[in-house]
Amino acid sequence: MLGSIIYSNPTKLYFGENSIDFLKEELANYGDNVLLIYGGGSIKKSGLYDQVVSILKASGKEIFEDAGVMPNPTVDKLKEGCLRAKEGNVDFILAVGGGSVCDYAKAVSVSAHCDEDPWEKYFLRMEDVDNKIIPVGCILTMVGTGSEMNGGAVITNHETKLKIGHVFGENVFPKFSILDPVYTYTLPQYQMVAGFFDIMSHILEQYFSGEDDNTSDYIMEGLLKSLIHSAKIAVKNPTDYEARSNIMWTATWALNTLVAKGKTCDWMVHMIGQSVGAYTDATHGMTLSAISILYYKWIMPYGLKKFERYAINVWNVNPEGKTSLNIAQEGLERMEAFMQEIGVVLSIKELGVTEEMIDGIVAGCPIFNGGYKVLDGEDIKEILLESMK
């Protein structure tokens, strides 16, 4: 276990069917001017938009809208959101959508009253917030990012070909989040399974670090087994409430900072995946799935003990008569078979990456040192080229 631990998460969760009934109660805690942030037209087709607007009006709120948040929110979109927030003198931001909408809402919350260029301050220099923050609440319609209960915000700059996340402190966490699994039913299959793998990747980034017998590892093994079980059900029956609710709950606990405690954490799959996304605008979860198996094969020899444990405890590999390496390899083989079963992408070529992009993707990828091996640019390039085959 690492040294002293401090854990605090101020986000209040309302979970389950009809949990939106608590929205009016929460809105009473905030001012009259609300910025309603959402993505495309899906919440209007589902009727959720009308339901939310009705509750906002019944609560006496003045509504300002910021629609059209894309799957990979951009710097230009962030500028637009900041302008809307300032013009409306908004007291509260309500994000209705998936992780990108929640990420974007948090970015607007810290950027609207920033005297500098938010991209420079928060996403390049990674500075703390020292200006007014607009509080945020979330109504989740897609699971994967965990953004509903953390301080993360990821923004893409198409001009510089960079996609960067900033993990803000608990003062930026959503004040509350409403999680109704039924809202996830209408999600297209591709987006659904991408979200499933995003959850898995979040857990693995934290799990594959450190050699100690850590309580967080036991929690993560349980989360992974729950995710694997429920994902197999959900791909066959997307409206299975038990499966979708288990996945939604797992996604939140995978990245609300709890299981990171006592861990150094890796995050290199995310760094490579985000750099791929900056060039292709591909769905986030698919950029992770396209890299993961190759990356973990690359670092497995340096963390063999943990990969062996992963194979046995998560994938039920029988260790009898096998070497540690054989056991670890079989675990990754079963993971890859699961990925094929649920239908995620296994090659960056499928995401539109060309060999001409590779050097730029490598250049845009930060190097982290929390995993079992610190990669250099040549390592990353080899992994990317292998994923092109």
Domain coordinates of the chain in residue numbers? 12-183, 189-387
Identify the pLDDT of residue 9: 96
Q: Distance of CA 40 to CAs 43, 44, 45, 97, 168, Å?
A: 7, 8, 10, 9, 26
Question: Residue 52 and residue 48: Cα distance in Å, rounded?
Answer: 6
Q: How confident is the model at residue 3 (pLDDT cuts 50, 70, 90)?
A: low
Kindly report, residue by residue over 40-94, the tens digit of the pLDDT.
Answer: 889 999 999 999 999 999 999 999 999 999 999 999 999 999 999 999 999 999 9
Identify the pLDDT of residue 114: 97
* 332: helix, strand or coil: helix
Average the pLDDT over 364-381 and give the result: 96
Instruction: Please determine, looking at this structure, whether the domain spanning 12-183 carries the CATH number 3.40.50.1970.
Output: yes
Identify the pLDDT of residue 108: 98
Kindly report, residue by residue over 112-154, the tens digit of the pLDDT.
Answer: 999 999 999 999 999 999 999 999 999 999 999 999 999 999 9
User: What's this model's pTM, rounded to 2 decimal places?
Assistant: 0.96
Tokens of 73: 């929110």
Instruction: Please determine, looking at this structure, whether the domain spanning 189-387 carries the CATH number 1.20.1090.10.
Output: yes
Strand segments (E) across the chain:
12-15, 33-38, 62-66, 92-97, 136-140, 152-157, 162-167, 176-179
What phi and psi, each to the nearest 5 degrees, are found at residue 244? Answer: -70, -35
Tokens of 291: 């890299």
Identify the pLDDT of residue 50: 97
Identify the pLDDT of residue 64: 98
Angle between helix 377-387 and helix 284-299 axes, rounded to 10 deg: 110
Q: Is the pLDDT of residue 2 over 80?
A: no
DSSP for residue 93: E
Kindly report, residue by residue over 199-247, the tens digit of the pLDDT.
Answer: 999 999 999 998 778 899 999 999 999 999 999 999 999 999 999 999 9
Kindly report, residue by residue over 294-331, the tens digit of the pLDDT.
Answer: 999 999 999 999 999 999 999 999 999 999 999 999 99
Identify the pLDDT of residue 381: 97
Identify the pLDDT of residue 213: 82
Q: Distance of CA 311 to CAs 42, 174, 318, Å?
A: 39, 35, 9
Tokens of 233: 């059900």
The label of the residue with tokens 């220099």 reads 125
The label of the residue with tokens 């993971």 reads 335
Mean pLDDT of the chain: 96
Identify the pLDDT of residue 211: 75
Average the pLDDT over 88-102 and give the result: 97
Q: How confident is the model at residue 341 (pLDDT cuts 50, 70, 90)?
A: very high
Identify the pLDDT of residue 41: 83
Identify the pLDDT of residue 5: 86
